[in-house]
Amino acid sequence: MKDYKFVSIVLATYNRKELLKECLESLFDQTYPKDRYEIIVVNDGSTDGTEEVLKEYAKKAPCAFKWLTQQNKGSYAARNLGIKNARGEIICFTDDDCIADKRWLEELVKGFTDEGIGGVGGRIIAYNPRKIVEEYAKMDQESAIKSVFPPLSYHL
């Protein structure tokens, strides 16, 4: 029997309820065992009905699911609140405008089989390539990782 590490997915959101729905659907559809991960959504003071979406999705979540609400303090504060409430051996992050591949968690966890690894990352594929911000994130991710981590500590 394979030993699956428990994973916490922290997701910050602010006024993007329609995108959040797509993101949550992709997280619910993971191939990783449903009893081995939790989703923690931090609502950063949304005013667009996000809270109602979270109530709806909490009822149909196939895995542990909780949401926290804070006044609008920004994505970093939201992620930190999510970390404080996480139970996982591994904590991973995604954004409300991302759609995770079905095998995202399964593949991400493989990177932690070596105890010398402290962090892993993946490729970002722009959902709508015409958006400048998404294109910038896609192009700049590799150089950002290389500038933070010493050589040979990452695998792209």
CB atoms within 10 A of CB 140: 12
| Nearest by Cα to 40 from 27, 30, 50, 49 | 27
pTM of the complete model: 0.79
Distance CA 146, CA 149 (A): 5
More confident of the two residues 152 and 12: 12
Q: Is 139 exposed, middle or buried (0-12, 13-18, 19+ CB in 10 A)?
A: exposed
Using one digit for the tens of pLDDT, what is the confidence trace for 100-134? 999 999 999 998 888 888 888 776 666 565 565 66
In 3-state terms, what secondary structure has residue 66? strand
CATH of domain 7-113: 3.90.550.10
Rounded distance between C-alpha atoms, residue 87 and residue 44, angstroms: 21
Domain boundaries, the chain: 7-113, 121-156
Q: What is the pLDDT of residues 11-54, one digit of tens each?
A: 999 999 999 999 999 999 999 999 999 999 999 999 999 999 99
Q: Could you tell me the sign of the dihedral formed by the alpha carbons of 70, 37, 96, 114, in that order?
A: positive
Q: Is the confidence at residue 135, as pLDDT, over 80?
A: no
> Scanning the structure block, which residue is given the tokens 């699911």?
65
- Encoding tokens for residue 139? 């192009």
pLDDT of residue 118: 81
